[in-house]
Structures are given as structure tokens and as C-alpha cells.
Amino acid sequence: MRSQACNRFLAASLAMLLLLAGPKFMALAADEAAVEAGRLKGIEYLKSKQEADGSWVYEGHSVGITALCTLALIENGVPLYDPVVDKGYKRVRKGVDGELKQTYDLTLAALLLARVGDRADKALIRTIGARLLAGQLESGGWSYTCPAVDATSLASSARGTKRKAGDGDNSCTQFGVLGLWVCSRYGVSIDEAMQLVAARFVDSQNEDGGWTYNPKGTKTDSTGSMTSAGLFCLTVARATKIRQELQKAPAVRGSATAKGAEKATLLGDPIYSKGFTQVGYYAKSMSPGSARYFMWSVERLGVLLGLEKLGDVKWFDQGSTALLKSQKPDGSWPDSKESPADTAFAILFLRKANLGSDISRLLEGEPEQAFCIPAREGTPRFATLQEAITSAQPGETIRIDGNGPFRCQNDLFKQDLTLTAGFGYAPVLEYAVGYDATGLRYRPERDAVAQALFTVESGTVTLEGLRLQMDPPAGSNTIPWRILQVNGGKLRLLNCALSEGTKRGIVAISSNGTGEIVIKNSLLSTSATAIQLNMTGDESVTIDNSVIFATKGIDVAGKGLLSLLLSASAIHTAEGITAEKFTGEIHSKAMHCVFKCDSLGSTFLTADASNTGRTWEGRNNVYNVGKWVGAKGKPAVQVKDPASFSKFFDGGDVDPSKLTISFVNSRRPGTSTHGLNSQEWDLSEKSELAFSAKKYGILAAITGPGGGFSRFREEISYNQWIKGETPLSVAELEPLAKN
């Protein structure tokens, strides 16, 4: 039998001893540079402690500690496809496949699997949800273990299992609650379970406003971590009720209740308010000797509620100063068991990781005016995107706090500007015919600006986490419709999805003249051409970790030098690259891409059997093509397979392959619809590539708006992006071949 101390894993050995005695600790304002340095040292320490099999060590809780450490690395910006993260994730996934029963381990595994976001993990997460539900006691709490049931117990006909008697403890209970909330995102119903949770904490609050490890404790038993746990559980229970009400009556979303009043109501509740006062007292006492589990509990509550202060203390300044003072030279934090758990908790605190951002959003509600300029004093809000663009100054960011759909008015961009999705949102921006400066409605058959959703005239325009959807009016097939028109400047797309729902021959991105286009983590889906370039000079196009799904991938016309870089992308088209009306040069580089095309480029060449004016270099690409390259529709007869293709371009394509490409959900190019998910272009288990040591195609978990954008914006690479750089995903793919 394991010792009680072992079973209290993640409670930092002694869940009831959360505040160590000592002189009062005076905290200074957090030094951002010092916090960053502390986090980075902690990250490197955790990486160094990973075992060869991908695990971290904590007796009796291999899955739980491995999930915790891997999650801490991801939340601190380590990419999902970093070899250390990848090994940790695979180790946890393998552990969940077995008879995992421990409450702590189940919840941490669910957190990690949900954070990674692989569609194949849905069944595992639902199994975890079934076990957590089965493990809830009559008291509404949890103990150390749960029954090893499977997801079939979630069926309504099977949900009659009688809960066992017992109190459990509040440490296991807060993990059970957190785990169930995560599983509820995957269709696990938790409404009844959260009602029991709420009743448990309402009934067991101590006179001082706090809670204890054992719900039958006395006033003197209240502790900081358990008081934070009590408030956290009540918050989740309230969020569950809000979500339930919104599902029953979606119109409530537009009421005053849905616009921030919920958090105020929660904080004003007598039970909650009393506990909140007590947790402020505990937060003030955080010091270098405080248990990291307690500090992490404080951090989760502060971030969840979006509060800078708990009581009258700036909890992050207090806690981060204390943590930096107690960090060891090797980057770790002291732990009596010499486990990495305390280091994981510490860097989660320093990152201000929000493991329940959807709860925060439910409490805040969607603002009445979705468009805002967050960096400006007072965060001004606007009713329409057009109003926000008019108000924006060069270099500012417009954030969209809502999913929409929002009807746009042929907006014109003439300066540096960023449009980004608010946290937890995937805004849908739809095409509509707008009005000119005199107030008259545009006529698309005459006015070029009305033929596009957005037009970029100058400056650097960055679009992040958006769904751009275009469905032109009926009877307008002869009009050259484009979702994005670029007439100058630079266009940068990050985690966007461009699509059409009607077969009107729409072009996703059209460019006239010269400039630069960068497409990262995105999906371009149309019935016609994904990217149309009408060049008058030199232009560069970079496509990284993206899906091109169209009849034509890239169509080039005009003159000049086109520099084309394709990295870790899926090109799924009838025609890959066409250049029938182009008289300039094309320099192409492709790395770790998958090409599934009827023809790679029937008009790519300038003359039959000649590579004059064309270069193609790269490495580790896979080609499933019916026809290769040619001129004016006539194929170059000497190109018959990947090897001869590389030879045709002087050996520029290193180690090309023709292994079978099979996507998860195969579609015919040109059959665009709205709502396509980039994960449909992940490689299926039927593909020969799925078992290859090398990695090809997209990194699906960080592709597209919504979850993909949420994951990528937490990575270190996002910091490079916002500085104007384009970090390529092949830097993440190549190390995995050695993993």
C-alpha cells in the first residue's frame, strides 16, 4: 500500500501545511526581466529531468507528474512539437490507455490532452470524464481514486450508478472539478455533478470564511490552498450554470447578465465574498517559504477572475518576488521529495497560466461592442469594424471580442494595422456590399473595392485568428471576386481560414504589383484559385504550416521575380502552380510539404524540357501527383517521379518521396465550404506517412483559428511573429524524426 504522503501527490506532500511560519515577507513590484529569466531557468530544469521514456518521476504518479511537467512547459511557450513535449505527451497518452484511476493523474492527463488538441484524443478525454464522474462521492467530493469505467457509462441509460458514501478531501475535489470542466468541452455532461460540488462548499465553509482539507474540519483548519480550492470550485459550478442557461436560451447572451454582471454577482455572493476576503489574507502571506501548490492555487483563482488584486494585495507581485528569491541556481524550486512538481507549479504561477479561460469568458460575457483598441487608454470600443479602422492609428491593434458573424463593408487598409481575435474567440467576418464616401452603395460590377472583403493598399496588415467568409450575391458569377485584394504593402495571415460557401470562382488572395505575402498556420479554401499574383515587379510569398485547398494553388501572371517558400504545408489542388501568362523567374523552395495534386504545374515551365527561369529546391517533400511539370499544358517527358523531378532541377529537391498521402477527411479540390477544419488535412493512419520516421505536412494542433490560434499564441514562436518575424515550422518538425 502506498503511503498517505505519496497519495497526496501534488498537494506538495502536506496539503494542510501550506503557509510556513516566519517573518513577514515584503514584496516589491514584479521585475518582468527577472520573472522571464526565472521562467526560462525553470523550463530548462524541467527539460533536464525528463527520463529517456518521456516521463518525469514521482512515485506512484508517473502519468500525473509527466502530464503536469509537460503542461507547464507548453503553458510557458515551449512548442507542442518540441521533442521533450512530444515525448511527454506520448507517454501520458499511453498511460491513459491503461487502467488509470488516480484523481490527480486523470485530471492532469485531461488537461494535457485538451491542451495539445489532437482530435484522436477525444475518446480518451471522454473516458477520463466518465471515470471522474463515477468517482464523485455522495458528498460532492472526490478521494484519491476513481472507478476504471469507460466512456460507455456516459450514456443516459447507464448513468444510474449510485455514488459511494464518503467525504473525500478538498484537494482531490478541486482536481476532480477541474478535470470535469475540461471533459465537458468534449460532450461530458457535468451539470448534476457541479450542483453537488456547489452544495458541498456552501455547506462546509468555516466560520472564518475559509475551507479545510477535510470538509469536516474546524475553524482552525482553514488553509490558503483549500480556501482557494473552495472558491475555484464554486466558480466552476457557477460557470456551469451560466453555460447551461445560455444553451437553453441563447438570447440571454445579449442581455445585461451576459455582459460582465456574472462576475460581480459571484463576488457579491455572501458565501463567496466571505471566502474571497479570507483568500486575500492568505495571499498577503505568500513568502519564499510558501508551498508552491498553495501559490499555484492562488494564481489560478486570480487569473480565472481576471483580478490584479486578491484583497488588498497584488498577488502576482507578492508571489513572483517570493518565488524568485527561493529559486535554486539550477532553475528548480526546493521540494522535500526532490520531485519536479514544485518547479512545474512555480513556472505555471510565473506564466500566469489560465487553465480555465472559457470560464473567465463566461463570467465576463461578450461585450456589446466587439471591436476594441486594447493598447489605447480606456480600451475604446466600437460597434463595427469600419468604425474601429477609421479610429485606429498606424501600428495599432484592433481586437475582436466575439465570434460574430460580423458583416464587413469592403474595408480598405492604408496603414500598418493588426486585426486579432480576442482570447477564446474565432470571429467570423462576412462579405457585404458597402457604401462609398457619399453614402451610395457600391456596385460590384463597377467598383473594384466592392469585389473584395478587404483591400490592402499600403502598410503592413496583419490578420490573426479570423474566419474570412465570402458568399457574393446570386447572379454575379462574371465578377472577379476576391476575399483579400493586395494592391501594395505587406499582408500577413496567422491562424486564419479563408473560405467560400458557393461555387462562384472566388480567389482567396489576389495581389497586383509588388509586395510580400506571408501565410502561417492558415487554411485557404476556394472553388477557384487560392493565390493569384499579377506581378509588375519582384514579389515574395511564404506559406508555412498551412493548407491550400482549391482548384488552383498559385497562379502567377505578369513579370518580375517570384520568391516562393513553402514549409510544412499541405497543397491539395487540381493544379499546384500555374504560370502560363508569366514572363519572369520563379525561385521555389519547399520543405516537409505534402503535394496531392492532379498536376503539380502543367504551365509552370517557360519551355518544354527546360528549367530556364525556374528553380526548385528543398528537402523531405512528398508528391502524390498525376502529372508533374510542363509548359502550356505539355508535360516535360523526362519528369516521371520524385527522383527525376529532383534531377530536372539539378538535384535541388533532396530526398523527395512518393509515399501515399491520405488525409483524415479526403475531399475533392474545389469543393470549398465554410467551417472546414485544418485538422482534416492531418495525415490519417491509413497513410504510409503516418508510420514514417520523418514528419511531413501541417502541425494540425496549431493550425487554423479557434483552438489552433489559442495554442500558437502561447508558444515562444508567437513572440517572434509579433516582432515581424516568420518562424518556420520545419524547425519543429525535423527534431521529431529523432524522437
Does residue 30 contact residue 235 with C-beta atoms inside 8 Å?
A: no
Distances 463 to 416, 454, 521 between C-alpha atoms, Å: 11, 11, 12
> What grid cell was written down for 698?
501541417
Per this entry, what is the length of the chain?
Answer: 739
pLDDT tens digit sequence for 427-454: 999 999 888 888 888 888 888 898 999 9
Q: What is the DSSP string of 544-608?
A: ES-EEEEEEEEEEEESSEEEEEEES-EEEEEEEEEEEEE-SEEEEEEES-EEEEEEEETT-SSBT
How confident is the model over 217-229, as a mean pLDDT? 81
pLDDT, residue 30, reads 66
pLDDT, residue 217, reads 62
Closest CA to 180 of 167, 191, 169, 168: 191
Per DSSP, 665 falls in state S
Q: From CA 348, how far away is CA 240, in angstroms rounded?
A: 25
Q: From CA 726, how far away is CA 718, in angstroms rounded?
A: 9
Using CA atoms of 715, 718, 720, 722 in order, give the dihedral in degrees to the nearest 10.
-160
DSSP-H helix ranges across 97-159: 103-116, 122-135
Does residue 298 contact residue 323 with C-beta atoms inside 8 Å?
A: no
Using CA atoms of 205, 211, 213, 215 in order, give the dihedral in degrees to the nearest 10.
0
pLDDT, residue 732, reads 58
Write the single-letter amino acid at 626: G
How confident is the model over 533-558, as a mean pLDDT? 95
Q: From CA 605, how far away is CA 580, in angstroms rounded?
A: 8
> What grid cell was written down for 469?
467568409
Closest CA to 68 of 81, 52, 49: 49
pLDDT, residue 476, reads 65
Q: From CA 392, how far away is CA 113, in angstroms rounded?
A: 39
Per DSSP, 136 falls in state -
End-to-end CA distance of the chain: 35
DSSP-H helix ranges across 260-392: 261-268, 270-284, 292-305, 315-326, 341-351, 357-364, 385-391
Share of the chain above pLDDT 70, in %: 90
Q: Rounded mean pLDDT of the chain?
A: 87
Does residue 542 contact residue 729 with C-beta atoms inside 8 Å?
A: no
pTM attached to this predicted model? 0.86
498 pLDDT band, cuts 50/70/90, is very high
pLDDT, residue 188, reads 93
Q: Cell 488572395, residue? A: 509
pLDDT, residue 325, reads 94
Task: Tell me the backbone φ, ψ of residue 394, rounded to 5 degrees.
Answer: -55, 130
Closest CA to 453 of 417, 484, 478: 484
How many CB atoms sit inside 10 A of residue 395's CB?
A: 12
pLDDT, residue 17, reads 29
**Statement: residue 15 has pLDDT above 50:** no
Which residue spans within 255-410 are E strands per DSSP?
A: 309-310, 313-314, 371-372, 381-382, 397-400, 406-407
How confident is the model over 126-154, as a mean pLDDT? 92
157 pLDDT band, cuts 50/70/90, is very low
pLDDT tens digit sequence for 100-128: 999 999 999 999 999 998 888 999 999 99
Q: How far is CA 724 from the centre of its chain?
A: 20
Q: From CA 110, how far away is CA 131, in angstroms rounded?
A: 11
Share of the chain above pLDDT 90, in %: 61
Report the relative pairing of strands 313-314 and 497-500 from DSSP bridges: unpaired
pLDDT, residue 249, reads 67
**Statement: residue 363 has pLDDT above 90:** no
More confident residue, 253 or 327: 327
How confident is the model over 592-614, as a mean pLDDT? 91
pLDDT tens digit sequence for 568-586: 999 999 999 999 999 999 9
**Statement: residue 19 has pLDDT above 80:** no
pLDDT tens digit sequence for 459-472: 999 999 999 999 98
Using CA atoms of 587, 590, 594, 596 in order, give the dihedral in degrees to the nearest 10.
10
DSSP-H helix ranges across 11-148: 32-48, 62-75, 83-96, 103-116, 122-135
**Statement: residue 692 has pLDDT above 90:** no
Angle, alpha carbons 330-331-336 (nearest 5°): 85
**Statement: residue 382 has pLDDT above 80:** yes
Q: From CA 121, how far away is CA 105, in angstroms rounded?
A: 16
Crossing angle, helix 83-96 and helix 122-135, to 10 degrees? 50
Q: Provide the greatest CA pair distance for the chain.
A: 88
pLDDT tens digit sequence for 68-102: 999 999 999 998 888 999 999 999 999 987 789 99
